[in-house]
């Protein structure tokens, strides 16, 4: 319940997370790097995730994926 409210209202601290994944075989990925930053608001976390994606975009290739997500402080600590 708290998580749904946090997602709806955007209150509290948020984390911008960018992960770099390597394809090791068909259907299998391995995380090779992760970058995260704590932000004071959800909006700030979205902006930071965009910045982190831009900073890591050159790592993208035919066997490397770069993903981003925004996590509330509740999700981050779970």
pTM: 0.84
- Nearest Cα neighbor of 76 from 2, 13, 8, 27 is 13
| pLDDT of the residue at 2 | 74
Answer for the pair 39, 13: CB distance below 8 angstroms, yes or no: yes
Which helix (DSSP H) or strand (DSSP E) does residue 73 occupy? helix 73-77
What percent of the chain has a predicted confidence (pLDDT) above 90? 74
Q: Where are the domains of the chain?
A: 2-77
For every one of its 78 residues, what pLDDT tens digit does the chain have, with 9 covering 90 and above?
776 776 777 778 999 999 999 999 988 999 999 999 999 999 999 999 999 999 999 999 999 999 999 999 988 876
How many whole angstroms separate alpha carbon 42 and alpha carbon 6? 10
From the CA atom positions of the chain, what is the Rg in Å?
14
Strand order in the sheet with 64-72: 28-39, 14-25, 64-72
């Amino acid at each position: 319940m708290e998580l749904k409210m946090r997602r709806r209202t955007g209150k509290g601290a948020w984390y911008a997370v960018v992960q770099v994944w390597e394809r090791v075989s068909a259907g299998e990925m391995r995380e090779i790097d992760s970058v995260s930053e704590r932000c004071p608001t959800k909006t700030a976390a979205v902006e930071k995730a965009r910045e982190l994606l831009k900073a890591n975009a050159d790592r993208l290739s035919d066997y490397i994926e770069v993903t981003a997500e925004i996590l509330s402080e509740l999700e981050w600590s779970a």
